[in-house]
Structures are given as C-alpha cells and as structure tokens.
Amino acid sequence: MPAYHVFRSTHIQASPQQVFDTASDFNTWSTWSPWLCMEKQAKVVVTQDSNSVGSKYEWTGELVGQGEIEHTKLDRPGFIEERLLFLKPFKSQARVTFDIEPAGDGTKVTWHMYGSLPWFMFWMAGQMDTFIGMDYERGLKMLKELIETGQVQSDIEIQGVKPMPAHTVVGVRSSCSFDQICESMRNAFQQAEDAIAKQHLSREGEAVSIYHVWDLKNKRCEYTAGYVMPTTAPAVAAPLSQVAIPATNSLTIRHTGRYEHLGNAWSSGFQYARHKKLKLSKQVHPYEIYRNNSEETPTSEMISDVYLPLK
C-alpha cells in the first residue's frame, strides 16, 4: 500500500512542558482540532484519564466520520506518540507523533503523521502532504493560540445552500503564496481604499475577497480584494478593476473570530460539499464577505461569510 509521511511545525511562546501538557491532554483536542471544528455536534468520547499512555479520544460524526486516537508513548516534555485508527468513511491507521523542543524564547513543536493508504486510494498518495499538511497547519495555529492566550477565536456555522444576489466588486487584483496571504491582502485592501478615495468612489459597501486561482500544488493564490459597489458602478481606472459576481446558489459558511482562522471555514465548506455531493461552479469564483469592520470590532466577534457558488 502507498505510504506517506506528513509533518508541519510551529513556534509557540511557552515552555516545552506547557506545550506537552496541552497537546497530550485529549480534553483539549476538540478546542484545537482542525477537523472537529467543522462539526461541533459530533460525538466525542474521552477516557476518564485523558493524558496517560492508553488514554483514548474517540469521535463519530456525519462529516468527520468515525475513528479513535490512543496515546502509546508519552515522554514529557519532548515526545508524544499515538496510534490513529480511522473506521469511517474507510478503514486505515496511522502513527502520529509530536516532537517538542526548546527554541529561542519558546518551543518548536512538529506534528507528524506516518501512514499508508488503502490500495484503491493509491492515486491520493502524492496529495497527502498537501491535504493533511494544510489541516496540520490549521491545527497548529489553533494549538498555538490556545496555549498562548487560553482560547481559540474561531467558530464555524455551515448555513447550507442559499440564493445569493448579484454583486459588483471594485478592488485590486493581486497574487501571493499561501504563507503571505494575510500581509498581501492587507496591502491589497489598503491599495483599493486609497484608489477608491482618489477616484472619488463610494466605499459604503462591505469588504470582499474573490479567489480566482487557488493553486494547491504550488501553494499560490490570485485574488481581488475590494468593496461591493452599486450595480451601476462607474468606470474605474488602474489599479482598480471591476468584478461581476452573478446571482447564484451558494454553499454558505459563517466564520466568527480571527481572520487567521478563515481556513477552517473553507475546509469545512469543501468537506461539506464533498459529503453532500454538491457540484461547485467553475465559472463563478468563490468569495468572502466581511460583515463588520475590523477596526471597530473585537477579533472574537469578527464575522466573515464564505460562499462556494454551485453549478
């Protein structure tokens, strides 16, 4: 069977002991799991002793499937080993480890998964690093926030398929690597705001990001960052451009919390669409609408709606 090894790392402003104690306690996992965040109503069972060799974390849900993970080795504060067993939608197992080591004024944690795929999924072997890796990145981001702040500001609500009206968006088109998207988007919105003001256009509409290209292989994206305008928006000059979003039915996912965790909403939406066998449009690009002002709203209350247009 085709084997794979996926790993991702992050730096956490805390001692190795703090990182170990959080990551090894299964009672914390539902808070920072990159999978359980999409299905809060999934059934989770944790053994009474949640942080010892033999402790288990079991889950069952419509979107997350069914499985369990068990501690097989705990070497505080540097190493955690686990046996991961998937039962649904298909059976497989993997070895999971955490390497925890001092780094500068904090701790470097590296999350590994070693496994193999069923023979009928051989075609996915080359994609495991991309898909599991992105999940690990989201999970480590939430683990870091939980340890450093005591909470994770990310809540997902899958609102289902909704009819969405047409929008005209005026903004700046840009591209960047995935790891630069936050900084790149801040710059693009600032350019859009400056150009809109200079061209004497209204900026009363909500902020929007439209994703034209999302290249998983090369980890790059191309997007337009701008604002909703009246349908009869006037002509614009560079660096601004107009993008017309037609009226369409869209799968809608609401994210409440920090923008940095928006990947949770996108991952949840794509998983829901696959599970429900929804066909996504290739002509109408997916987009986000930011429902409140980041300068006036606490990060825990920031609302962003993700739309996946359907065929």
Q: Tell me the average pLDDT across 209-219.
A: 95
Determine the straight-line distance between the first and last CA of the chain, rounded to whole angstroms.
Answer: 36
**What is the model's pTM?**
0.94
Whether 71 and 89 have beta carbons less than 8 Å apart is answered as: no
**Fold equal for 3-152 and 159-309:** no
Whether 96 and 115 have beta carbons less than 8 Å apart is answered as: no
Q: What is the CATH number of domain 3-152?
A: 3.30.530.20
> Which residue's structure tokens are 């193999």?
116
- What tens digit of pLDDT does each residue of 16-61 get? 999 999 999 999 999 999 999 999 999 999 999 999 999 999 999 9
- What tens digit of pLDDT does each residue of 130-160 get? 999 999 999 999 999 999 999 999 999 999 9
3-state secondary structure (DSSP) of residue 24? coil
The pair of structure tokens assigned to 298 is 């606490």
Kindly list the strands in the beta sheet with 287-290, ordered across the sheet, starting from the edge strand earlier in the chain: 154-164, 248-257, 303-309, 287-290, 207-215, 220-229, 167-177, 240-245
What's the mean per-residue pLDDT of the chain?
Answer: 95
Residue 191 neighbours by CB under 8 Å, 6+ apart: 172, 239
User: pLDDT class for 122, splitting at 50, 70, 90?
Assistant: low
How far apart CA 299 and CA 296 sit, in angstroms, is 9
> Which residue's structure tokens are 């999350």?
111
Q: Which CATH architecture has domain 159-309?
A: Alpha-Beta Barrel (3.20)
> Over pLDDT 70: what percentage of the chain?
96
The pair of structure tokens assigned to 37 is 């965040």
DSSP label at 295? T
For 223, phi then psi, to 5°, come to -150, 165
User: pLDDT class for 124, splitting at 50, 70, 90?
Assistant: low
The pair of structure tokens assigned to 8 is 């991702």
Q: Is the pLDDT of residue 119 over 80?
A: no
- Domain coordinates in residue numbering, the chain: 3-152, 159-309
